[in-house]
Structure 1
Amino acid sequence: MSHDPRTPPLVSLLAGGAAGAIEGFSTYPFEFAKTRVQLREKKGQPTPRNPFKVVGQVYTEEGLRALYKGCSALVIGSVAKDGIRFLSFDTIKENFKDAETGTLTPLRNLTAGMASGVVASIFAVTPTERVKTALIDDARNDKRFTSNLQAIKLILKEDGFLGLYRGFAGTTLKQAGATAMRMGTYNILKDYEKTRDIAQTTLTNFVNGSIAGTITTLTTQPFDTIKTRCQSAKGASTVEAFNSVIADYGVRGFWKGTTMRLGRTVFSGGILFTAYEWMVAIINPIYKREVI
């Protein structure tokens, strides 16, 4: 995350969207396997407990393309999600800064992240996650969905507009918590490094992002599991999703898919923030030249 107060909102939006697309596509097989593990097992066909086996099994039986089922929905969602998330975070962060020092306290960092997560959930994350999850679930069962557009049409036909917002509560809780932890932790680390005169390089950006991703995963996994159950092909309410996890696995079930999600977020956090810093460095001079 750039700390340059002169970074224009449009640059934050474009850089965040581009970073989200890069991160979403490059780490999608991890997301695919995590989602498969969290969904309810089909009778007689138990899902392997080890998410890495899911990747191998799907690759062997269905090929590489199957591992990217629903990827376009996630990438489109990531462009919108991370564009909105970085834009809203940068905007909120500027209003939260101390007038004299120009810095944020750890609590204000987390609060700014939480607010931007709610905004992203409303305008981008919930509907795109719903389509992505439904596509992954449908591919292993009924196979009614042939594309993103056809899936959206069918969901709208069967459940109406609110069908695209299945799992809104779980998604918003996850996004609020995840963005607070990810953005907040990343900026706290950068502020700390500035006080120690630690150079901000690609490596430090990647490490900071990976640490932020790890903390995010461990603290928000239950919300992610509930969200996935809500957004299956048939859909479920938050209460139904919660009860189904307890019935299937007990309390430990809320951390189902943690290994795979952790594997993804360690890399995705590093990739996301590194790509964002790169894109800001590329876009900002072009934007200033065109405006001036």
Structure 2
Amino acid sequence: MKKDNRLTSSQSFVCVGFAGFFSKTVTSPLEVVKIKSQVGTFHSKEGFLQTFLIIYKNEGLRGFWKGNLASCLRLFPYSAVHLTTYKKLVHLHMDELGFISPWRAIFAGGLAGVVAALATYPLEVTETRLIIQNCRQPTYISIVHTLSKIYRGEGLLALYRGFSLTVLGAFPFSAGCYGIYMNLEKLWQEPPFRFTPMQNFINGCLAAGVAQTLSYPFETVKRKMQAQSARLPHFGGVDVHFSGIIDCFIQVVKNKGILSLWNGLTANTIKIVPYCGLLFTCFEMCKQVCLYRNGYIVSPLSYQLTPGVDQSLGPNELEEVKRYLKNRNFGSGESSFGNRW
């Protein structure tokens, strides 16, 4: 999503947060199926479509939105930490002219993502634990109860179990993003600044698909580590037993085959298009409301620019201009802002 200087920082944050919240909620059933497949619970033994039927039969519709609140709540602190860290890292890597190479930009984004993941990782563990349990016979009642029970029963480190795989997975993820980025001009046969919204949407889907597929084995093992616990029924429903990260990789490949590291990839791939589509659409809708409130467009339902308004001005600068013109023309009888401009 391209930065729009006509929005304040808080407005941009709210737009991204709302878009992420809505898109995650709508695509939550696919996320539940994906995570159950990664962990290897009994729901996923018979394939992609059967997993939906088994979850519905055992837990009802509610079962498709388990852990969604934890996932959504994670968005806001994650976005805030990621944005702050990314800005600082980019500033450090810029040259005298303010230029930063694509590799350094992607490295800054990856490192910022790792820092943000560290700050919000306990919520990701909470999401996994809530998803793998049966909501009709729950071990955990709420987000706070889950965090508290894991901390008291398994210790603080249990809330960060598998975090190192987030760091390791960042490398193939970044490589996938960079590979797509470097070939966009060849794909569309035109420079990036001429891309239409539809082209940017397709680019986002392609980058997400390639990057997530490359880093998927790391996420699969990470989910198994988050789920496994001696205090849960059937050790959390994990399909293999292991003592650590390397042992988990070995046991999965040995007992389930190397392709099982990509279990749930079907659900994840199907999820990409609606997720990215809703993310971009909701962001644009929220952005239009903010632009209308700031006075840049004539209606939140259209992109028609307000006549006479300098679109290069920031929100605070535009507000100052409005006050100045209002004071200068006070008592002149002119009621239209467009006329005063």
TM-score of the superposed pair, with normalisation by structure 1: 0.80
Classify the secondary structure of the residue corresponding to 2:133.
helix
Question: Paired residues, what number?
Answer: 286
- Residue matched to 2:50: 53
- Identical-residue share of aligned pairs (%): 26
Q: 2:109 aligns with which of 69, 88, 113?
A: 113
Query: What is the CA-CA distance between 1:218 and the residue it aligns to?
Result: 1.2
2:263 aligned with 1:263: no
Determine the C-alpha separation between the residues in 2 that align with 1:9 and 1:87. 11
Report the alpha carbon displacement of residue 231 of structure 1 after superposing the two structures with TM: 0.6
Distance in 2 between residues matched to 1:281 and 1:175, nearest whole Å: 33
**Closer, same or farther: CA 18–196 of 1 in aligned 2, 3 Å:** closer
Q: CA deviation at 1:199?
A: 4.9
Give structure 2 stretches of 5+ with no counterpart. 230-235, 237-242, 295-313, 321-341
Counterpart of 2:68 (choices 54, 68, 71) is 71
Q: Is the 1:32–1:67 contact (alpha carbons within 8 Å) kept by the matching residues of 2?
A: yes
Structure 1: tracts of 5 or more residues without a match: none
Report the aligned-residue RMSD: 3.6
1:61 & 1:189 partners in 2: Cα distance?
A: 45
Give the distance between the partners of 2:247 and 2:283, measured in 1 at CA: 38
Which amino acid in the other structure matches residue 143 of structure 2? Answer: N
Match of 2:156 in 1: 161
Structure 1 stretch displaced more, 134-143 or 59-68: 134-143
- 1-side partners of 2:289 and 2:92: how far apart? 26
Partner residue in 1 for 2:77? 80
Structure 2 contact 6–315 (Cα < 8 Å) conserved: no
Change over 3 Å in CA distance of 1:160–1:183 after alignment to 2: farther
Question: In structure 2, what is the equivalent of residue 136 of structure 1?
Answer: 131
Counterpart for residue 323 of structure 2:
none
Are positions 1:151 and 2:151 aligned together? no
Higher radius of gyration, 1 or 2:
2
Deviation at 1:6, TM superposition (A): 7.7
Give how far 1:272 is off.
3.1
Correspondence for 1:170: 165
CA distance in 2, matches of 1:164, 1:210: 31
Q: Distance in 2 between matches of 1:242 and 1:205?
A: 36
The question of whether the paired residues in 2 share the 8 Å contact of 1:226 and 1:242 is answered with yes
Shift of 1:95: 5.1
Partner in structure 1 of residue 207 of structure 2: 212
Moved more, 254-263 or 45-54: 45-54
Normalised by the length of structure 2, the TM-score is: 0.70
The one-letter amino acid paired with 1:250 is G
The structure whose residues are more often helix, as a share, is: 1
Match runs of 1:202-241 below 5 Å: 203-234=198-229, 237-241=244-248
Greater CA drift, 102-111 or 156-165: 102-111
Higher deviation after alignment, 254-263 or 170-179: 170-179
Q: Which residue of 1 aligns with 2:250?
A: 243
CA distance in structure 2 between the partners assigned to 1:210 and 1:85 by the alignment:
21
Q: Deviations over 1:165-210 (max 9, x none)?
A: 11111233335654675599579859x9883653543x33422221
CA distance in 2, matches of 1:280, 1:229: 38
Separation (CA, whole Å) in 2 of partners of 1:158 and 1:215: 38
Which deviations, in whole Å up to 9, do the C-alpha atoms of 1:233-255 show, x marking residues without a partner?
Answer: 51764234323322331222211
- Cα distance change of structure 1 residues 189 and 3 upon mapping to structure 2, 3 Å threshold: farther
